[in-house]
Amino acid sequence: MILNYQRLQIHGVPVYETITKGSSERLNAILMTALTAALALIPLALKGNLSGNEIQSPMAKVILGGLLTSTLLNIYIVPIVYSILNHHGDGKFSQKPDRSHSGRENRSVP
């Protein structure tokens, strides 16, 4: 999602519009991925009292909780933190590093 924000910022889109447009572009992929995994785990989480599911049911519940929290983080927290860091750093957060040289100095051997 951050790369999507940076791509929009490079094209000169304002920060608020970058966050709203960038988030809406990625929302479908985030929700479909989480929903697919959650739908596969719901039967395991609900059938915990059956024989053989003593380990699978708690594990499915933990995974579902992780999916829920990671989805909420991606939808709400990542855009908020990006906005704060971009505002705090005066836009430096969204700039790509200069990769015009390899970072080594050209030293001549005497």
| Number of domains composing the chain | 1
Nearest partner of 37 among 55, 62, 64, 58, judged by Cα: 64
pLDDT at 92: 54
pLDDT score of 1: 85
Question: Does residue 103 lie within any of the structural domains?
Answer: no
Looking at residue 106, its pLDDT comes to: 47
**Which amino acid type is present at position 70?**
S
Q: What is the pLDDT of residue 49?
A: 79
Mean pLDDT by 10 residues, the chain (110 residues): 88 89 91 94 86 86 95 92 80 51 47
Structure confidence at residue 50 (pLDDT):
80
Q: CB within 8 A of 4, min separation 6: which ones?
A: 22, 25, 26
Domain that residue 76 falls in:
2-92
Instruction: Kindly state whether residue 109 falls inside one of the protein's structural domains.
Output: no
> What 3-state DSSP class applies to 40?
helix
Q: What pLDDT sits at residue 67?
A: 95
Handedness of CA 9, 10, 13, 14 (dihedral sign): positive
Q: What is the pLDDT of residue 91?
A: 55
In a domain, 100, yes or no: no
Q: Is residue 42 part of a domain?
A: yes
- Has residue 29 been placed in a domain? yes
Question: What is the rounded CA–CA span in Å between residue 91 and residue 10?
Answer: 11
